[in-house]
Each structure stands twice: as C-alpha cells, then as structure tokens.
Amino acid sequence: MDDMDFPTPDSSVESVTASELKARVDAGGAVTLLDSRMRSEYEEWHIDGDTVESVNVPYFEFLDEEIDDDVLAKIPDDREVTVLCAKGGASEFVAGALKDRGYDVNHLEEGMNGWARLYEAVEVERYEGSGTLLQYQRPSTGCLGYLVYDDGEAAVIDPLRAFTDRYLEDAAELSSASPVSQARQDAAELGVDLEYAIDTHVHADHVSGVRELVEKGVEGVIPAASAERGVTYADEMTLAEDGDEFQVGDVTIEAVYTPGHTSGMTAYLIDGELLATGDTLFVESVARPDLEEGDEGAEDAARQLHETLHERILSLPDETLIGGAHFSDAALPAEDGTYTAPIGELREKMAALSMNEDEFVELILSDMPPRPANHEEIIATNLGQQETPDDEAFELELGPNNCAASRDSLADD
C-alpha cells in the first residue's frame, strides 16, 4: 500500500512518533485510531488497548475527490484522530484529505513499521539478585527479552536481530540525556561489556540476534538440544546443557532444560530470582506445542510440556519470578511495568497449572490461535538453513506472535 505515489495533501499534517503514541496509550486516556490498511491486514494485526478505539477504513476509500458520506460517518469528528497505515505514506494522504474536511487529525510516522521498531527497557524491580535486570518489551509483537548486568559485565537473553546495535549501545554507549528509563541510564554510565547473547530456543516468530552479536565479539549461547534440530552454525556457539552456569559479575545464570514448546527449549535461572522461561510459561498462558512437529506431534509435546511445568518450573520456590519471551494483549503488567509474576501467584491464578496431564492436554489443544505468520521461513532463518537479509527479516516478523496455547488469558484477574 505505501509503495504507491500518493498526492501531496493540500493541508499540512502533523505526525506523531511511535514512542509518542505509546506514551498516550500508556497514560490511559482515550486514543482514537483510523487504520487505513486493508481489512485483512488490520484483522491480523493492529494496535489495541483498553482505552484505544480503532476504526478500519482502507485508504482507497479516500482516493476519490468526493469521499462517500458513509465513509466519513465512520470517522469520529469530535476528537483527535491518528491515522496510520503500513509505512506512513497512505496515512499522511488520508489524514490530509480529512483535515481538508475539518477533521482534527495527525498521522503515525512510519506507520506500523515504525510501531514495530518501538523497543522499550523496563527494570524488573522485584529482582533481588546481585545485579540489575532489565526486561525489553516490543509492544508490536509482544516479544520480551532480558539484559542482566553486574560489575562491568552483561548478558542478553533472547535478543532480536532487528535490535542488535541497541543491546551494545545499552551496555556501553547510551547518553544519559536520552529519554530512557533510569535503569538504562545506569547501564550506560556503567559502560558494561556485553559478554553473552543467549537464546532459549529456535524461535518461530522473530529472527534471533545471537549470530549478529557473535560477529561483534559477544559469546553466543544456544541450547545444546536445539542444535540437534539442524542448526548450521552450532560450532560457532557455546552449547548450553541442563545445569550449565554462566557468570556475569556476581550474577549466575543457570540453564534449565524445559522441553515442550520445542524439543530444545531451555530456560535460564538468573541468580535464583527470575526464570527466563522463553516460550514455556507466560504470565497469562502456557506455550503452544505444535510449532516444531506440527499437529501430529502436538499431543506428545503437550504431555512433555506438562511434565516440564510440574517437575522443572513449579518445583521452584513460589517467590521465583517468571519472565517469558512474550506477552499478549490479555497480559497485565506488574506494578513495575514488567510482564513478570511469582510462580506462587501464577499457580493460584492459572488453573491449567493444577490440572492433571489429560485435562491439561485437552485444554491447550482446544483453542490455539493461528501459527505465527511466516513461521516456517523464520525457523529456517534461525536454524541457519536460509539466508534472509535484514530488511526481509524485519518484514517476516511483522504481526502477532501467537506463541501461546490460548487466544485468551488462562489466568484469572
């Protein structure tokens, strides 16, 4: 859509950045969006929120000089409206056409691509280990990652290729004048060295940044069990076995083998305080079991996931924090703004964690969402079996992550 040449609007249209829009959504005030992408694109993936009103009217409805009254009737004229599209071109044209007709409008700079580049770091305040722990949050896809640092050293867990430079900058070069969290300012002032880039598994929804960080001198770590799926670059990596430990300052990161979502899934226990679970357990749901072996292998994987949850995760102390690799629209953040929760709290809120094996398998196979868009190409890229340029990799990731087993939250409010 945004590859078209749109006429320059007669009226000058103000733009808002993705960060500015996110701040408005987070503030809890009413936000009205006009999404001018095609209906199929909108239904697959759009900006949502408790106080967000989103209207979908495709851009082609605005191409004629005389816009149909029925089209205009769909657009609120009593408040500010932010128009968005895929890359920012169509939305500027549509916003201009509406401004010419008296609407209070602006448009989202770079559209949904700009939204997908939004990546925030929030300190996990309940983490009481030796170092400082940040949770990276990508609102557009619900991806989560972690940066732990102590005594001049750092490690990043589940890095994204699209943000390779960001991790290095956050560890060593960010200016304290930047509009970032205090935790990230502290990391910048420490000038820590990024020692490890760690993956929990072969991801199906985003392209991993581990290999790119290895090229920049960081030690790459992948689960030994995931290498058995045919990782072509395994000899360039440290292969983590169950129980292996990695030291970052005085922080100990222990590999905990947690198969189920994939055969190689491995969580990482950070100083005994937080378990970075990858896609095994989230604050609102559990992993889907069908992305490696498909429908035929989903039941066996679900049974393995049940065993993993009870023997490897729920056996940890109740106060241990869970931090997954994703959050969905159904997830509620903790008071510190992170998507983390103690195991004991999840056990109380999520009935699935108390079910017997047969009940559990029936539940998580009953309502799985569509598989992540482009998951086969993303998996092939992450295995090293397919070369995908950065711009194409970014496009492959766009859309919802859909790595949880349920469309809705499994956790009671």
- Domain extents in the chain: 15-115, 119-397
Q: In the sheet where 132-138 sits, what is the strand order? A: 120-123, 132-138, 143-150, 153-157, 193-198, 219-223, 238-240
Query: How far separated are the first and last CA of the chain, in Å rounded?
Result: 40
Closest listed residue to residue 97, CA positions, set 62, 58, 56, 60: 62
- For the chain, which residues score pLDDT lower than 50? 174-188
Element housing 269 (H / E): strand 266-270
> What fold, for 15-115?
Oxidized Rhodanese; domain 1 (3.40.250)
Give whole-number Cα distances, 56 to 114, 174, 283, in Å: 18, 38, 30
* Short-list 413, 408, 253, CA closest to 341: 413
Query: Could you give the C-alpha distances from 15 to 12, 30, 96, 105, in angstroms and in order?
Result: 10, 18, 11, 9
Residue range 105-148, pLDDT digits in tens: 999 999 999 999 999 999 999 999 999 999 999 999 999 999 99
Instruction: Provide the whole-model pTM.
Output: 0.91
Longest dimension (CA), the chain: 68
What confidence tens digit (pLDDT) does each residue in 220-243 have?
A: 999 999 999 999 999 999 999 999
Q: What is the pLDDT of residue 82?
A: 97
Q: At what angle do helices 294-308 and 357-364 cross, to 10 degrees?
A: 140
Which pLDDT value is given to residue 3?
57
CA dihedral 174, 179, 180, 184 (to 10 degrees): 30
Angle at 397 between CA 211 and CA 166, to 5 degrees: 50
pLDDT of residue 9: 65
Angle between helix 182-190 and 164-172 (nearest 10): 70
Equal fold, 15-115 vs 119-397 = no
Q: Which CATH superfamily is domain 119-397 in?
A: Ribonuclease Z/Hydroxyacylglutathione hydrolase-like (3.60.15.10)
DSSP 229-251: TT-TTGGGSEEEPTT-EEEETTE
